[in-house]
């Protein structure tokens, strides 16, 4: 499969590297206007160009990883040369209906919402598409399954998926940062605190994904009666831990919906 990624920024590069590392038999081109910072991608067999149309006619799928306000310019440039090619958009807030309107209902369209862990084969990429394009979407779902998980969801949940699955990376990292800061205060150097905090989150996530139980069931296994975990957890909750996360997630969603 030949993948043409337009928008070689944070997300576009992570998808390109993920494909290069974790997906067999796929060729990737990445474009952006200023390519100096992504020239190194060629070391991974990725083609880099500042011309959005570079080899685009050979592509099987065009992936858009540009900002919402860049969509019209890019489409005006590429649509005349990509007849019938599938367009997969990771642009936040851009609905399938609007994308279809912008592409005159002439191109198969798929909405994808990966996160930057695609680069490490660990993205949670939610995908949706109009039923009539399910055959076009199938290889894209396969591609993103190579880069982590790729659940197909109802499009009405795509904005929510953006918040939980893409913004969520930043929320999780902020949790780790806070743990590190506390770790330093209680005696660890920064590197050791980072290693312990990150591995602990990875372990917790792995248990959840493998056991498929409610988090509280695992928490019960950690909170020894009258022990140190429960007093710490309760103190965090008194200070609004869960509540602030829920409020933050809902605020992010409001920002996407405008
Ligand atoms: N970052 C993330 O974790 C996620 C982002 N998204 C979505 O992905 C999109 C991109 O986000 P992100 O990667 O963070 O943003 P970035 O700003 O990092 O990347 C956007 C890239 O688009 C390039 N670009 C701008 N105009 C053009 C053009 N006319 N032709 C080709 N390339 C162009 C820019 O490079 P240059 O200026 O050199 O052209 C830039 O590298 C957004 O819609 C975002 O909502 C979705 C999920 C996760
Ligand atoms: O912050 C943003 O707008 C983008 C969308 C999801 C992650 N980053």
Could you report the per-residue pLDDT of 195-247, keeping only the tens digit for each? 999 999 999 999 999 999 999 999 999 999 999 999 999 999 999 999 999 99
Complex ipTM: 0.99
Which residues, 6+ apart, have CB-to-CB distance to 93 below 8 Å?
68, 159, 162, 256, 257, 258
Find where tokens 């990624």 sit.
5
Domains 2-153 and 161-257 share a fold: no
What CATH number is given for 2-153 in this structure?
Answer: 3.40.50.720
Query: What sections of 59-211 are H helices per DSSP?
Result: 71-78, 96-102, 134-146, 158-161, 168-185, 190-211
Which residues, 6+ apart, have CB-to-CB distance to 89 below 8 Å?
63, 64, 71, 99, 109, 110, 111, 112
Q: Buried (b) or exposed (e) across 55-85, using 16+ Cβ within 10 A?
A: ebeebbbbbbbbeeeebeebbeebbeebeeb
- 161-257: CATH topology: ProC C-terminal domain-like fold (1.10.3730)
6 is in an annotated binding site: yes
Instruction: Name the E strands within the chain.
Output: 2-6, 27-31, 47-49, 61-64, 86-89, 109-113, 123-124, 126-128, 148-149
Beta pairing partners, 148: 123
> What pLDDT is recorded for position 162?
98
Q: What residues does each domain of the chain span?
A: 2-153, 161-257
> What pLDDT is recorded for position 24?
86
Q: Is 4 exposed, middle or buried (0-12, 13-18, 19+ CB in 10 A)?
A: buried
> What pLDDT is recorded for position 25?
80
Could you report the per-residue pLDDT of 139-155, keeping only the tens digit for each? 999 999 999 999 999 99
**Closest C-alpha residue for ligand 1 atom 5:** 11
Determine if ligand 1 sits within 6 Å of the CB of residue 99.
no
10 is in an annotated binding site: yes
> What pLDDT is recorded for position 90?
98
Determine if ligand 1 sits within 6 Å of the CB of residue 89.
no
Of 130, 116, 125, which is closest to residue 143 (Cα–Cα)?
125
pLDDT (mean) for 162-169: 98
CB 84 within 8 A of CB 59: no
């Amino acid at each position: 499969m030949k993948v043409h990624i337009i928008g070689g920024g944070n997300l576009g590069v992570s998808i390109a590297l993920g494909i290069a590392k974790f997906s067999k038999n796929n060729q990737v081109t990445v474009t952006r206007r200023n390519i100096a910072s992504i020239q190194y991608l060629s070391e991974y067999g990725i083609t880099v160009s500042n011309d959005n149309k570079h080899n685009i006619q050979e592509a099987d799928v065009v992936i858009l990883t540009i900002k919402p306000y860049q969509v019209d310019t890019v489409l005006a440039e590429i649509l005349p040369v990509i007849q019938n090619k599938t367009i997969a958009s990771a642009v936040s807030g851009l609905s399938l209906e609007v994308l279809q309107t912008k592409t005159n209902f002439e191109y198969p369209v798929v909405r994808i919402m990966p996160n930057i862990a695609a680069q490490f084969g660990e993205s949670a990429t939610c995908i949706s598409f109009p039923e009539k394009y399910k055959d076009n979407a199938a290889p894209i779902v396969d591609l993103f399954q190579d880069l982590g998980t790729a659940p197909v969801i109802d499009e009405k949940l795509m904005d929510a998926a953006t918040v939980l699955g893409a913004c969520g990376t930043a929320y999780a990292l902020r949790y780790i940062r806070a743990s590190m800061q506390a770790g330093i205060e209680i005696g660890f150097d920064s590197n050791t605190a980072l290693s312990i905090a990150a591995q602990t989150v990875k372990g917790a996530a792995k248990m959840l994904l493998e056991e498929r139980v409610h988090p509280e069931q695992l928490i019960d296994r950690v909170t020894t009666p009258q022990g140190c975990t429960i007093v710490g957890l309760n103190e965090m909750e008194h200070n609004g831990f869960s509540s602030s996360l829920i409020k933050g997630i809902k605020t992010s969603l409001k920002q996407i919906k405008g």
